[in-house]
Structure 1
Amino acid sequence: MIQQLLQSYWPEWNGDTVNGPTGWNNTTLFIHNPHRRSVMRIYNTHRDKARIEFEFAVLDLLQRAPLSFQIPTPVPSTSGDKMVRVQDGSDRYACLFAYIEGARPEEEGIQAAYSFGEKTGELVCALAACPIGMEPVYPPYYELLQSYPSCSRTFIQDFCKQPPLEFQEQGNALQILHEAYTEISGRLESLKNLPRQLVHGDLNFSNLLVDSEQSGKVIALLDFEFCTKDVRAMEPAVVISGFLGMAEEKDAIRQFCEGFASRVRLTEEEIAAIPVLMRLRLVDVFLHFLSRYREGTDESHVLQEQVDMLAAGLKRLKQSQAWMEDMLIQYLM
């Protein structure tokens, strides 16, 4: 199927295929031939062309900005389209991107934390200046209560308080998640008053590349699929939430904040909201995987793993909040 796609739409890029690090939402394949290398992405969880069009419009605008890092560059097919239907009856879309040289950072390593902060701050500034003329398809995080129609308040409460048999061992973790969901639901309206702009929305160690020779230097930010208009402070909040539980968590967050502040400063209100936005991010991820489970996309073990991990993140955030708030004020103001 992949060879047929390449031969039909990107014949000059056809070559040997190697499976890449496939995420929850997409399949990734690396394609090599003697002249060029590329990356094919197949969107697995939606069939919505508008989502990809918005992502590519943002990438096109960012290509014109003087960025110090690389971003994905879609390769037009022979028909001129940047996305094509997969010919397997699934109606999924496939896209091809030029290959970016670099390496994945170590998951527990913090060598790139400062550089990650720099590039995140730079991206925030660049996205703020993007004259996008399209409405985003993905909702902002603060529209949590409307974002997952298959997970009503009643369903979430029943699932967390009386979990199915296969989730009995996650009872305590589900209680933590439900408490966080209830608490954050009452604070969503106030978040709308914070400065808003385009945000990447899913920056983490799996969506960046570092220099193969200098592991502390971020050279590319990837995967703009969930780019939308949201509160500006959501960008660092998402990244910092990914540092929770790391062996060198405190140092990683400090370095990231130092790097971020070298490019952009936040208001006092934004800084105070970051712990709230971090909880919102963790709750949002829970609802994302709960929806996937309810809709039959994932088996129970996927949600079990996420529930345990996210509850641990919420516990860690509560334990770290005092010093984290001081650190955020010290470095981001």
Structure 2
Amino acid sequence: MEAVLRRHWPAWNGTLQKRTGGWNNTTYFVKGNGRSGVLRVYDTHRDRDKIEFEHAVLQALSKHSLSFSVPMPMRTVTGETVVQLEKEGGKYVCLFDYIEGKSPLEQDSSFAYSFGEVTGELSAVLATFKLELAPVYRPYYALQQSYPLCNQEIVREVCLNPPEPLKALQEELRLIGKVYEEITDSLHAMEELPHQLVHGDLNASNLLVKDSDHSQVAALLDFEFCTLDVRVMEPAVILSGFLGQPEETQAVRDFCQGFSRRVHLSSDEIDALPVLMLLRKVDVFLHFLSRFLEGTDQPHVLQEQVKQVSADLLQLSDRGSWIQEELVLAGMAPS
């Protein structure tokens, strides 16, 4: 990676420190010549169109006066923002300017209100975009097209007759299969809801809070999955991620209030929220099932995801209506 940096971004030449974590990409912090950057290696796909669309969104966002930061791709000596490696199986690499801030602590949800505000701000801006490039990723509700390795028959078979590595998780898989079947029949109705560009993967791991005040969001990160989808999918993803947190109730309430200051959802969108939160969890399962079937992950990765997804689905069955009510109440409150 140091040779890649010297060749394509010589002004950024310096030391690289590999960052831990991340399922889809490998990240390095770059320090040298008085500047800092983040080098990202895309590990799970070789689709240049996906990266170029992501960068087009980020460049368009940079033209707006936002209250938060977003990553800015740096151009190479030849003027591109993405480089394909000759080795490493032809993986793509990009360099982004470093953004000051901290990842929130795992059990901290004090940033929830600010998270709601900046998510609403982002949603309002993305709604105005009409980019020349077309998004590559499909909306969440297009499950059949998004995961060709996981058609309805395969999912049903895995959930009802688990393969050997998943035998001990029969109860969890039956629940996932049941929810999958329930929501599949209702997804066609999502096509009638308001659509726009959405980030699609906002959660605590894809944001930074300010060093001086951990309750304030400093940046939103990782726009790789940005695509055209139903507008309400953005809060659905985030709200489903608050489940199980120590301060879950306050976090949900604070986020809804912050988000509703910027975006007012229709009654149809709020009605769709419980299904969309379930859809987010099912989508996570299909993502990791696909990785397992294609040999990307070892069985233990899918095993852990099955446990987490099934636990989240149980919580959603109890909490989905309450979260929906919080969003309604937040929308009624004066700004």
Q: Same fold (TM over 0.5)?
A: yes
Q: Name the residue aligned to 2:216.
A: 217
Cα deviation, 1:13-34, whole Å, max 9, x if unaligned, reads: 0111111243110000001014
Count of residue pairs the alignment pairs up: 332
Cα deviation, 1:242-301, whole Å, max 9, x if unaligned, reads: 101111111110000011011111001101111110001100111010000000000100
Q: Secondary structure at the match of 2:228?
A: strand
Aligned-residue RMSD, C-alpha: 1.0
Alignment of 1:27-176 (within 5 A): 27-176=26-175
Aligned mates of 1:125, 1:266 — CA distance in 2: 11
Q: Name the residue aligned to 1:287.
A: 286
Aligned mates of 1:109, 1:116 — CA distance in 2: 12
Q: Name the residue aligned to 2:273.
A: 274
Cα deviation, 1:214-253, whole Å, max 9, x if unaligned, reads: 0000010000000000000000000001101111111110
Q: Secondary structure at the match of 1:192?
A: helix
Alignment of 1:227-266 (within 5 A): 227-266=226-265
The runs of at least 4 aligned residues of structure 1 exceeding 6 Å deviation read none
Q: Secondary structure at the match of 1:142?
A: coil
Contact 1:271 1:332 in 2 (8 A): no
Contact 1:202 1:226 in 2 (8 A): yes
Contact 1:62 1:130 in 2 (8 A): no
TM-score, normalization: structure 1?
0.98
How much has 1:89 moved relative to structure 2?
4.2
Contact 1:140 1:229 in 2 (8 A): yes
Q: Secondary structure at the match of 1:141?
A: coil
Higher alpha-carbon deviation: 213-222 or 317-326: 317-326
CA distance 1:250–1:172, shift in 2 (3 Å): same
Contact 1:27 1:42 in 2 (8 A): yes
Q: Secondary structure at the match of 1:73?
A: coil
Listed as ranges, the gaps of 5+ residues in structure 2 are none
How much has 1:200 moved relative to structure 2?
0.3
Contact 1:29 1:39 in 2 (8 A): yes
Q: Which amino acid aligns with 2:166?
A: F
Higher alpha-carbon deviation: 319-328 or 291-300: 319-328
Aligned mates of 2:242, 2:331 — CA distance in 1: 17
Higher alpha-carbon deviation: 315-324 or 105-114: 315-324
Cα deviation, 1:86-134, whole Å, max 9, x if unaligned, reads: 2324100000000001000012211100000000000000100112122
Contact 2:107 2:245 in 1 (8 A): yes
Q: Secondary structure at the match of 2:143?
A: helix
Aligned mates of 2:77, 2:324 — CA distance in 1: 52
Higher alpha-carbon deviation: 55-64 or 320-329: 320-329
Listed as ranges, the gaps of 5+ residues in structure 1 are none
How much has 1:332 moved relative to structure 2?
3.2
TM-score, normalization: structure 2?
0.97
Aligned mates of 1:287, 1:267 — CA distance in 2: 29
Contact 1:198 1:229 in 2 (8 A): yes
Alignment of 1:300-319 (within 5 A): 300-319=299-318
Aligned mates of 1:322, 1:184 — CA distance in 2: 16
Contact 1:40 1:95 in 2 (8 A): yes
Identity %: 49
Q: Which amino acid aligns with 1:81?
A: E
Aligned mates of 1:322, 1:180 — CA distance in 2: 16
Q: Name the residue aligned to 1:321.
A: 320
Q: Name the residue aligned to 2:192.
A: 193
